[in-house]
Structure 1
Amino acid sequence: MFPAENLRDWHGQKVIDPQGDKIGELEGVYVDTATDEPAFATVRVGMVGRHRLAFVPLDGATVSPDAVRVRYDKKQAGDAPSIDTNGELAANDEPSVFAHYGLPYDAVSGVRRLARR
């Protein structure tokens, strides 16, 4: 699993896909509330003046000194559910983030699955 000890050190690192293409820059990390393990990164994507934060899963991701490599390609990440650069993920939007990547969403009634760290 992706180590969680230095979350602050990841901010601003470039996020790349399996082919080495840059997706964007890591802005935040959301942890799974059941395990407290990193689950998704928010990645700054878009053009100048039109940036947004796209959600990209961290399962299988690796960290190098200059990048975080994720298992998902740039196109899929770019098409992912996103929030404004000042926004927050609404509880009712969580299932669509998981569904975009074909990941199971097992929520307990009234309990959020993701929390920003």
Structure 2
Amino acid sequence: MIESADIREWRTHTVIDSEGRKIGSLEAVYVDTRTDEPAMATVLMGMPTRHRLVFVPLAGAVVGPDYVRVAYPKAAVKDAPSMGTDDVLPAEDEKSVFAHYDLPYQPGPSGERQLARR
């Protein structure tokens, strides 16, 4: 498992896909609010004048000296739900991120968010 104490050091690391293709730069890590374990990352993608943040799960990710290798192909990450670089993921949009990757979405018992940015 990835050590959650190290997640602040991952910021700006290159994110590569399961085949070693560059996806973008790691912008932030989101933890599962029930376990406090890293669950998703946002990756800065796009052209210099059209950056956007896309979500990718961290399950199966491997952290190297200057990269984070995710277990998903670049095409799947590229098509994932995204947001602007100055935006915040609305709580009602969390479910679509999980659905894109065919992952179960489990908000808290009172509807609390499943993801929290670290």
Please state which band the TM-score falls in when normalised by the shorter chain: over 0.9
In the TM superposition, what is the alpha-carbon distance from 1:16 to its structure 2 partner?
A: 0.3
In the TM superposition, what is the alpha-carbon distance from 1:110 to its structure 2 partner?
A: 2.2
In the TM superposition, what is the alpha-carbon distance from 1:71 to its structure 2 partner?
A: 0.2
Q: Deviations over 1:47-95 (max 9, x none)?
A: 1110000000000101010210000010100110011101111000000
What's 2:43 paired with? 43
Q: Deviations over 1:7-51 (max 9, x none)?
A: 111000000001100000000000000000000000001111100
Equivalents in 2 of 1:99, 1:110: separation in Å? 17
**Counterparts of residues 100-111 of structure 1 (less than 5 Å):** 100-108=100-108, 109-111=110-112
Q: Secondary structure at the match of 2:5?
A: coil
Does 2:9 correspond to 1:5? no
Equivalents in 1 of 2:103, 2:87: separation in Å? 23
Equivalents in 1 of 2:87, 2:117: separation in Å? 11
What's 1:114 paired with? 115
Does 2:84 correspond to 1:84? yes
Normalised to the residue count of structure 2, the TM-score between the two structures is 0.96
What number of residue pairs does the alignment pair up? 117
Moved over 4 A (4+): none
Equivalents in 2 of 1:114, 1:57: separation in Å? 11
Equivalents in 2 of 1:53, 1:2: separation in Å? 22
Amino acid at match of 1:13: H
What's 1:93 paired with? 93
Unaligned runs of 5+ in 1: none
What's 1:73 paired with? 73
Q: Secondary structure at the match of 1:92?
A: helix
